[in-house]
């Protein structure tokens, strides 16, 4: 992900989350040493790339934390979320990461289902974590050395 991608990223972000990140939040991620941010692009008809998803993460001390992942609403249920996650797991393996963690709203069944299918398991709970509705966050994790 670079600054050029931010228009497309922000459009997806605003469709995807009740408390979306703003441009400054994405920009600050782009310049952190320990942040790794990727976009997924399609070029199906030769008319240029369409930005269809992204993933933002932090890596430190053999651990990765996924801060954000989303797929454009028009391109969901086509395997792209799984593709982004698999790409990210492969990237983590090359970076010698042992564990990936993430937080997810307890009501976000599509995302929880995708993570479970990929082998993520519940590690804990952050009660009343989300400011807009007081919803709990599930903490989920995946050990990569067991894959």
* Number of neighbours of residue 146 by Cβ within 10 angstroms: 7
Nearer to ligand COA, 63 or 83 (CB): 83
Size of the site for ligand COA (CB under 6 A): 20
Q: Which residues contact 35 (CB under 8 A, 6 or more apart)?
A: 29, 56, 57, 58
Alpha-carbon torsion (90, 95, 101, 103), positive or negative: negative
Helix 109-117 to helix 80-94 angle, to the nearest 10 degrees? 50
Q: Binding ligand COA by CB under 6 A: which of 24, 43, 46, 77?
A: 77
The single residue listed with the structure tokens 């010698």 is 96
- The residue among 137, 66, 55 whose CA lies nearest residue 104 is 137
Task: Write the interaction track for ligand COA spanning residues 104-143; mark x where CB under 6 A is met and - where it is not.
Answer: x---xxxx-xx--x--------------------------
Identified binder of ligand COA from the candidate list 23, 60, 74, 79, rule CB under 6 A? 79
Per-position x/- string for 2-21, each x denoting binding to ligand COA as judged by CB under 6 A, each - no binding: --------------x-----
Positions in the binding site for ligand COA (CB under 6 A): 16, 69-71, 76-82, 102, 104, 108-111, 113-114, 117
């Amino acid at each position: 992900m670079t600054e050029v991608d931010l228009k497309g990223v922000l459009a997806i972000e605003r469709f995807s989350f009740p408390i979306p990140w703003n441009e400054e939040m994405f920009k600050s991620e782009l310049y952190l040493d320990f942040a790794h941010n990727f976009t997924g692009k399609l070029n199906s008809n030769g008319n240029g790339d369409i930005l269809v998803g992204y993933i933002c993460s932090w890596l430190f001390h053999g651990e990765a934390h996924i801060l954000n992942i989303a797929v454009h609403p028009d391109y969901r249920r086509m395997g792209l979320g799984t593709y982004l996650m698999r790409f990210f797991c492969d990237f983590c393996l090359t970076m010698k990461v042992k564990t990936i963690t993430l937080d997810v709203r307890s009501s976000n069944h599509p995302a929880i289902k995708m993570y479970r299918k990929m082998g993520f398991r519940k590690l804990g709970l952050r009660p009343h974590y989300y400011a807009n509705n007081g919803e709990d966050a599930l903490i989920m994790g995946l050990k990569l050395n067991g894959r």
